[in-house]
Structure 1
Amino acid sequence: MTVEDSRYEAVSSRDARFDGVFFFAVATTGIYCRPSCPAITPKRGNVSFYATAAAAQAAGFRACRRCRPDAVPGSADWNARADVVGRAMRLIGDGVVDREGVAGLATRLGYSARQVQRQLNAEVGAGPIALARAQRGHTARVLLQTTSMQAADIAFASGFASVRQFNETIREIYAATPTQLRAARPARDARSGPVGGAAGVPLRLAYRGAYAAGQVFDFLAARAVRGVEEVVGAPGARTYRRTLRLPHGSGIAEVSERTGGGSRSGGQWLDCRLHLGDLRDLTTATQRVRRLFDLDADPYAVAERLGADTELAPLVARVPGLRSPGTPDPDEFAVRALLGEAAAPRPPSGADALVTRYGTPLAAPDGALTHLFPRPADLIAADVPGLDGLCRALTDGALHLDPGADRDATERALAALPGVGAMTASFIRMRGLGDPDVLPGGAAGEDAWRPWRSYAAHYRWWAQA
Structure 2
Amino acid sequence: MSRSNVVSDSRQPRPSPSSILGSVIDEETRYEAVRSRDARFDGEFFFAVETTGIYCRPSCPAVTPKRHNVRYYTTAAAAQGAGFRACRRCRPDAVPGSAEWNVRADVVGRAMRMIGDGVVDREGVAGLAVRLGYSSRQVQRQLTAEVGAGPVALARAQRAHTARLLLQTTGLPITEIAFASGFASVRQFNDTIRAVYAATPTALRAAAPRRDTPGRGAAAPSTGIPLRLAHRGPYQATAVFDLLADEAVAGVEDMIGPRGRRTYWRTLRLPHGHGFVAVDERPGGGARTGRGGWLDARIRLCDPRDLTTAVQRLRRLFDLDADPYAVDERLARDPRLAPSVAARPGLRSPGAADPEELAVRAVVGVAEAEELVRTYGKPLDAPCGALTHVFPEPAVLAQAEDGRGTLGALAAALADGTLRLDAGADRDDAQQVLLALPGMDARTVAVIRTRALGDPDVAPPGVDVPESWRPWRSYALHHLRTARRSEREKTGV
Q: TM-score of the superposition, structure 2-length normalised?
A: 0.89
SS at match of 2:432: helix
1:70 aligned partner: 93
Distance in 2 of aligned mates of 1:360 and 1:462: 34
1:322 aligned partner: 347
1:221 aligned partner: 245
Distance in 2 of aligned mates of 1:320 and 1:216: 13
Deviation at 1:197, TM superposition (A): 8.6
Q: Deviations over 1:276-329 (max 9, x none)?
A: 000000000000011000000000000000000111111111111111110111
* C-alpha contact 1:120 1:127 (8 A) present in aligned 2: yes
Q: Which residue of 287, 291, 296 corresponds with 2:312?
A: 287
Distance in 1 of aligned mates of 2:439 and 2:212: 49
Amino acid at match of 1:333: L
Is 1:211 the counterpart of 2:235? The answer is yes
Distance in 2 of aligned mates of 1:268 and 1:14: 15
**Structure 1 residues 245-254 or 412-421, which shifts more?**
412-421
1:344 aligned partner: none
1:369 aligned partner: 387
Q: TM-score of the superposition, structure 1-length normalised?
A: 0.95
Deviation at 1:45, TM superposition (A): 0.6
Deviation at 1:198, TM superposition (A): 3.3
Q: Deviations over 1:167-202 (max 9, x none)?
A: 0000000000111111111122999xxxx9932000
- Root-mean-square deviation over aligned CA pairs: 1.9
Distance in 2 of aligned mates of 1:420 and 1:177: 54
Over 3 Å counting, the alpha-carbon distance change for 1:445 and 1:435 in structure 2 is: closer
Deviation at 1:457, TM superposition (A): 1.1
Q: 1:391-406, aligned counterparts within 5 Å?
A: 391-406=411-426
1:165 aligned partner: 188
Over 3 Å counting, the alpha-carbon distance change for 1:407 and 1:44 in structure 2 is: same
**Structure 1 residues 407-416 or 68-77, which shifts more?**
407-416
- For these two proteins, the number of residue pairs brought into alignment is 454
* C-alpha contact 2:234 2:291 (8 A) present in aligned 1: no
Deviation at 1:455, TM superposition (A): 0.3
Distance in 1 of aligned mates of 2:308 and 2:142: 24
Distance in 1 of aligned mates of 2:212 and 2:135: 42
Is 1:39 the counterpart of 2:62? The answer is yes
Q: Which residue of 115, 118, 138 corresponds with 2:161?
A: 138
Over 3 Å counting, the alpha-carbon distance change for 1:247 and 1:445 in structure 2 is: closer
Amino acid at match of 2:144: N
Distance in 1 of aligned mates of 2:188 and 2:221: 28
Distance in 1 of aligned mates of 2:212 and 2:379: 33
1:333 aligned partner: 358
* C-alpha contact 1:439 1:456 (8 A) present in aligned 2: no
Distance in 2 of aligned mates of 1:182 and 1:250: 26
Over 3 Å counting, the alpha-carbon distance change for 1:265 and 1:184 in structure 2 is: farther
Q: 1:336-351, aligned counterparts within 5 Å?
A: 336-340=361-365, 347=366, 349-351=367-369
Is 1:389 the counterpart of 2:448? The answer is no
Is 1:411 the counterpart of 2:436? The answer is no
2:375 aligned partner: 357
Distance in 2 of aligned mates of 1:265 and 1:315: 17
SS at match of 2:188: helix
Deviation at 1:258, TM superposition (A): 1.1
Distance in 2 of aligned mates of 1:163 and 1:268: 34
1:462 aligned partner: 482
SS at match of 1:244: strand
Deviation at 1:464, TM superposition (A): 2.2
Distance in 1 of aligned mates of 2:127 and 2:466: 37
**Structure 1 residues 407-416 or 162-171, which shifts more?**
407-416
Amino acid at match of 2:252: V
Deviation at 1:445, TM superposition (A): 5.0
Q: Deviations over 1:182-232 (max 9, x none)?
A: 1111122999xxxx9932000110000000001110010000001000110
1:128 aligned partner: 151
1:109 aligned partner: 132
Deviation at 1:441, TM superposition (A): 2.4
The percent of aligned pairs where both chains have the same amino acid is 68
Distance in 2 of aligned mates of 1:265 and 1:416: 43
Is 1:434 the counterpart of 2:434? The answer is no
Q: Deviations over 1:415-453 (max 9, x none)?
A: 111121111111111100111111222544521111111
* C-alpha contact 2:237 2:285 (8 A) present in aligned 1: no
Distance in 2 of aligned mates of 1:43 and 1:267: 26
Amino acid at match of 2:233: G
Deviation at 1:381, TM superposition (A): 3.6
Deviation at 1:236, TM superposition (A): 1.4
SS at match of 1:116: helix
1:343 aligned partner: none
Deviation at 1:237, TM superposition (A): 1.0
Amino acid at match of 1:257: E
Deviation at 1:267, TM superposition (A): 5.3
Q: Deviations over 1:392-429 (max 9, x none)?
A: 11111111111111111111111111121111111111
2:6 aligned partner: none
* C-alpha contact 1:429 1:438 (8 A) present in aligned 2: yes
Distance in 2 of aligned mates of 1:261 and 1:134: 28
Distance in 2 of aligned mates of 1:266 and 1:169: 31
Amino acid at match of 2:281: E
Deviation at 1:377, TM superposition (A): 1.1
SS at match of 2:211: helix
Deviation at 1:265, TM superposition (A): 10
Distance in 1 of aligned mates of 2:192 and 2:111: 22
* C-alpha contact 1:260 1:270 (8 A) present in aligned 2: no
* C-alpha contact 2:221 2:277 (8 A) present in aligned 1: no
Is 1:177 the counterpart of 2:195? The answer is no
* C-alpha contact 1:256 1:272 (8 A) present in aligned 2: yes
**Structure 1 residues 454-463 or 164-173, which shifts more?**
454-463
Over 3 Å counting, the alpha-carbon distance change for 1:260 and 1:176 in structure 2 is: farther
Amino acid at match of 2:484: Q
2:329 aligned partner: 304
**Structure 1 residues 361-370 or 256-265, which shifts more?**
256-265
